[in-house]
Amino acid sequence: MWNYLKEIWLGTYSLMVGMWITLRLTFHRPVTVQYPYQTLKLPARFRGHVQLPLDANGKPKCVACMACARACPSNCITMEGHKPEGATRRELSKYTLDFTTCSLCGLCVESCNFDALEFSKDYNLASLDKGDYVMDLLKPAGKEQPK
Ligand code: SF4
Ligand code: SF4
């Protein structure tokens, strides 16, 4: 008999505790979002794959000096550049990042003297195709990214 009453009391008590926690948190600001319909703002220091920021004319700031490719310990970066007739600086014609071996160490970004390389905020890069991670960084952002 006592055990029976004790179990009723414990069940009621745990129910009340649960209801109290639910009631209390109902009026708190939510800390989660309805992903994928909503996403959180990423911290400033978040490191996604590297990308080539554009200048005011919509062209990459990169001058194809190759310093980033030389600095990369994983040989992730391949690029080509040329100097057009009469131009004062080299132009980039190819810039490929093999993200499968990138460790996000940041040596490429640090080695660039032209602020022409930065970390992106892309994180939603899941894919079953490894080829999706060999990225042509000269394509408009997002087009070459895996779904
Ligand atoms: S972050 Fe590091 S590993 Fe990745 S491309 Fe740059 S230098 Fe290479
Ligand atoms: S170091 Fe900067 S300017 Fe030089 S090739 Fe790399 S991204 Fe371009």
Which of ligand 2's atoms lies nearest the C-alpha of 64? Answer: 5
Long-range contact set of residues 103-106: C-beta below 8 Å, sequence gap at least 24: 103/73, 103/74, 104/47, 104/49, 105/73, 106/47
Mean pLDDT on 61-65: 95
Mean pLDDT on 46-63: 94
CB 62 within 8 A of CB 95: yes
Rounded to whole angstroms, the maximal C-alpha distance in the chain is 99
C-alpha–C-alpha distance, residues 107 and 117, integer Å = 11
Mean pLDDT on 73-82: 96
With a cut of 90, say whether residue 14 has pLDDT above it.
yes
For 78-123, the pLDDT digits (tens) are 999 999 998 888 999 999 999 999 999 999 999 999 999 999 999 8
Which of ligand 2's atoms lies nearest the C-alpha of 77? Answer: 6
Look up residue 61 and give its two tokens.
Answer: 């700031």
pTM of the model: 0.77
Compare 5 and 140 and report the one with higher pLDDT. 5
Ligand 2 neighbour 67 (Cβ under 6 A) = yes
Residue nearest to atom 2 of ligand 2 (CA): 112
State the ligand closest to the CA atom of 137. Answer: 2
C-alpha–C-alpha distance, residues 112 and 89, integer Å = 15
What are the structural domains, with CATH classification, of the chain?
Answer: 50-136 (3.30.70.3270)
Q: Is the bond into 36 cis (omega within 30 degrees of 0)?
A: yes
Ligand 2 neighbour 111 (Cβ under 6 A) = yes
With a cut of 90, say whether residue 54 has pLDDT above it.
yes
Closest CA to 97 of 83, 86, 109: 109
3-class SS of residue 16: helix
